[in-house]
Structure 1
Amino acid sequence: MKCDIKSLYICVLDMERAISFYEAFFEQKVAVKDNVYSIFDINGFRFGLFAFEKMKEKHSFGNNCLPSVSVESVNIFNQKLKGLKIVFPATKIGENWVAEFEDSEGNHIELTTPIDEWCSTI
């Protein structure tokens, strides 16, 4: 069996607030803007925002599903984490720096970057 994962979505309470948060974080505009399901195209991967309450669904926020975003350098890694609520501090795991932050809606998001051999501390 060949299997591909091409998208995921996270639940949001306030679509406009979530779109603003992720437009700033991803440094790009939302590709599809909708009051129930909005989509960011991240290099061909669909990152969705789902306004679950509009569809009368239940949801609990936290770290039960952790989208992981990778950036190319420690400098960008540190820049992206600045000012965010950190729920797992930057830690060396394998050959990467790994941290988790809380988004505007209460979801936990993982951020990673390769450890630069010239910069082994954050």
Structure 2
Amino acid sequence: MIKGMANVWVPVQDTDRAVNFYENTLGLPVVKRDGPWAEVDANGIRIGLNGREPQGTQAGGGPVLTFQPDDSIEETVEQLRSKGVEFPAEISDHDWGRVATFKDSEGNDLQLYAPPQG
């Protein structure tokens, strides 16, 4: 059902300000920058800096664990729904990929991520 970790991302209000902090204050190298998305390398673990999904969990603050599904994102959503997992919004499409948001048993934000096709 779940292939592995896609990334860990931290919600930010201002991507430029966050990149400046992680790069210049913490000294972590920026390894990717694409519009409102940036990634820094924290000793082999990539941390994404991005705003929260406009719909979905609507929670404030905190990192989000993002998983790569084994199957298509649609199939994995259906498999998880059959196990009682609730998805508060539909799968959202972006230039950088597709996302389905949900929560774990303790209320922590989780996502499924599928990279863009082609």
| Interval of TM-score (by shorter of Structure 1 and Structure 2) | 0.3 to 0.5
TM-score using structure 1 length: 0.39
Counting strand residues as a fraction of each chain, which structure ranks higher? 2
Bigger relative contact order, structure 1 or 2 (CA pairs below 8 A, ≥6 apart): 2
Greater Rg over alpha carbons, structure: 1
